[in-house]
Amino acid sequence: MFVRVWRALKMFLKSKWIWHRPPPSQIVIIDAENQAVLLPLLGQASYQVIKIAREEYYLNGRTILLTVCYLPRSWNLHVAYLMGLVRQISPQIVITFIDNNYYFQQTARLIQGVRFLAIQNGGRLLERDHPKDGPPVYHSEFACMGEWEVDQYRRHGAIVRRYYPIGSLKESYYRNWLKETGNEDIQQRKKAFDLCVISQVRPTLQKVFPEQMKSFELLADFLRIFCRDHYKSICVASRSHPENAPNDYRWELDWYISKLGRQIVVVPNEKSQFMSYQMIDISVVSLGMHSTLVREAFGRGNRILSCNFTENPVYNFPVDGPWALNEPNYELFERQLLNLLEMPDADYAKVCGRWPKYLLGYEQQHPTDQFLKDLIADAVKNQRASSESS
């Protein structure tokens, strides 16, 4: 216990310090990562971003006093610090786009009288990342991608007070972008590529998750043979961009050229143009492993082949079907991929049935981003009305 506190204290000492108190705000955003994705949801409400990833910390008498007072409740310096800041700022709602942030979850669990909203930003491997003998996952309000999360989290013993299975926020922004740019029919147009690889490789993957790297290498090997034998065109939706991460992009480009040859088209991840989403929509079949983009593509009605060659079922696609392959066998890979490429649209839609909606709960009448805007605005409005009446 005291070792954890000491490590957290050393982390604090290496950070940037803000000497004044945090200003009162209607909304608090926990963690600065991906905050730009949240800002369009806030309307005209005032907000404050709390950065806790070794970036900056408030240091003043009130914050120190509250942190010390809350420390015995959690014995985690970060959680006690967040509790103190939330009490000082007194927001109507606290939100995050890093739904697996432990500090956010524990702060939400320990503070009463404040709404906490976690918005899911990617698929979660609960069996791998949240052992059942550890602290349970906690959310007071959880905007998740689909009903599958509801079932998964309940099976795992998570404590979630309220679920909103409304789809993916980023994917909802993409649908909005298609409307704004007049590209709503992009999925119905003639496909530019037969296959799209949804890239998941990066320089550190071999060290961090070697089983994933080995699986993706085998997928690349299978694709090289398949494209050679069946003369299929292929593109890669890259993870990185040459301007934002030149070294990572160069490494990724070289890796794919070495695996698939120089005839492939590697497309930089231009986020403002939703380029990865576009490449999926203009390809007949998109392939990947454990990837949020693969799941979003399936939920949007695209053909996918999710390949898990690790022999670890935690990386399996959530639902079985012709879109999932969990055996490292080239003959099976070839058969399933040819089937997906040749299957009529009506047959594919029939086979998918209810599963796309189960995995991605997007509603065209009430899109994910609009649902969240309304939810946050309602929290601010109700709290303001409550304060005025008292």
Domain map of the chain by residue range?
2-167+367-389, 188-359
Which residues touch 45 (CB under 8 Å, ≥6 apart)?
Answer: 26, 27, 92, 376, 377, 380
Its pTM stands at: 0.91
Stretch 21-32: mean pLDDT, rounded? 89
Check residue 387 and give its pLDDT: 46
Q: How confident is the model over 250-302, as pLDDT tens digits?
A: 999 999 999 999 999 999 999 999 999 999 999 999 999 989 999 999 999 99
Q: Do domains 2-167+367-389 and 188-359 have the same CATH topology?
A: yes
Say which CATH class 2-167+367-389 falls into: alpha beta
CA distances from 307 to 15, 48, 296, 341 (A): 41, 41, 15, 16
Check residue 310 and give its pLDDT: 95
Q: Is 74 in contact with 110 (CB distance < 8 Å)?
A: yes
Does residue 198 surpass a pLDDT of 70?
A: yes
Check residue 383 and give its pLDDT: 62
Check residue 277 and give its pLDDT: 98
Query: b/e map of 263-291 (b: 16 or more CB within 10 Å)?
Result: ebebbbbeeeebbbbbbbbbbbbbbbbbb
**CATH classification code of 188-359:** 3.40.50.2000
Closest CA to 126 of 95, 169, 159, 166: 159
Q: What are the backbone angles phi and psi of residue 235, rounded to the nearest 5°?
A: -125, 165
Q: Per-residue confidence at 157, pLDDT binned at 50, 70, 90?
A: very high
Stretch 107-113: mean pLDDT, rounded? 93
- Of the given ranges (157-171, 200-214, 313-327), which has the lowest mean pLDDT? 200-214
**CA 389 – CA 149 distance, rounded (Å):** 38
**CA 80 – CA 70 distance, rounded (Å):** 5
Residue reference for tokens 């899109």: 367
